[in-house]
A and B are shown apart, each in its own frame.
Chain A
Amino acid sequence: MEKSLNPDDGRSQNSIPQLIKSIWVIGNLHLQRRYCGSWLGAAWSWMHPVVHLLVLWIVFSNLFPAFENYFIYLASGLLPWIFFSQGIQTCSTVLVSNRNIFISSPVSYETHVLGTLTGEVLHFLVAFLLLILSVPLLGIPLGWHLLAVPLFLLNLILFTFSWAVIISFLTPIYRDISHFLTLFFTFGFWLMPIVYHWSNLPPPYKYIVKYNPLTLIISPFQIILHGGVVPNPHLIIISYLTVFTSIWLAWYVKRQLGKKIIYHL
């Protein structure tokens, strides 16, 4: 009979299956809402990455003519990057924009953050599946190494979920964050080895690019799809450690801010 309350913020905790259903419904309706009334519907969400990809491919394939299968290298880095940056930017304002819900119902904050991100995950997975299917058409043979893709997809999704929670909890308190994110992602894109390979850079920049946490999450896709091999164990371990650190950080931020966040909405 005693209502189960979350010890971190006093909000209700549904059972895990109920939580998953709520997240799925919020994500699904979030997508339907975004494209209802538009002619192309959900296809608009693939238009952005496709156009972005084509523009970068046309420009940089001419700059790096010796780069073999450049399209696959570019696409396998760009799609995860777009998923991460769009997911974080969309989730950054979830708590603020749903204020009316949170002040009138003891529902957990994470349900809304994860629900909103679920829509982005679905789009990304469809786009990434299309990329994998196009790999043999572009001359790279399929192989057992592709079985490692789900492992790193899970890594990327958990990493993005963690940072979505962190940013969405910080934004109500520090409102500049949503503006800062736009700048960060514009700048951050060029710090990622997406359009170029990190080995082309001179030493000080090479290490910054190679060891930035996002590179550790995104570059395994380039290694698998473009390189045709499974990333080495060293990269797998560091990549997973990065994700576990992000999950811990998200849990810590939620624990620290969970109680006061409602007064900032």
Chain B
Amino acid sequence: MEQVIQFILSGLSQGGVYALVAIGFYMMWSATHAANFTHGDVFMLGAVSTVVFGEIGVPLILAMPLGIAVSAVAGALIERIAVRPFNHGPSSIGWMLTTIAIGLMLESALTATYGPLGRPLYSPFAQSPIRIGGSGIYAQELLIPAVAIGLMVLLELFYRHTILGRAMLAVAANPTAAGLMGINVSRIALIAYAMAGAVGALGGILLAPVSEASSSMGALIGLKAFVVAIVAGISNARGVVIVSLGYGILEKFIEGYISTAARNSIGFGILILLLLAFPNGIFGKREVSKV
């Protein structure tokens, strides 16, 4: 039982990280039917810049919003520079290449300047763990899924009850029609990428106190979050968060009861099967093929 509690708690924490990155993929995809393929690097940028701001003496309470702002600007710039000019029609893949190129530049520039190794970020919630019997977890780690779920609720309220949110939903449903209705589709895309950057940065900043901020922290998480978002059905924010959390827990149970070594094989194997069973994602809307 102790173990089960540990796996669920650790899994939720891991899943929360996936969720915060995957929400970004959802936002970007909704607005442009493309994404920053290396969104994991924007997630990393938020954490790394917060650490750097902290090191030059900015108080944490200011460093965090600054880090988030850096990622938001990076997200918006990437949309302008690397996605928009290369995203014509559903079959274009140019954006994939350009965002990969930008991601490479970002990650390698930080490796060369900030260094390849991780650095710690202080958080009052990561100083001593909360113990439940023989299992334990840092409060910081529980904060991650809590923030992910909270953000999901806020996002849904935002989409339903604000003009901007509704405009974003309209663009997601049909960009052409939304454009005809007078919605500035291009600005919506910019905002969506900035928001995705901000949410990703928040994830990075929340994770850094438990596992350091390093230039390579984003690559694999970004890739996994992308896969998870697609399998969840990238058109459904709630689904993306639920599946992310679930996948985090699944990983821990695989590690605990089957094999730590085979975690990725089994985890991704299950994801492939799910995608075959739900070709538009688990929570995705079924697209009836129109002839």
A and B held together in a complex? no
Interface residues of B (CB under 8 A from A): none
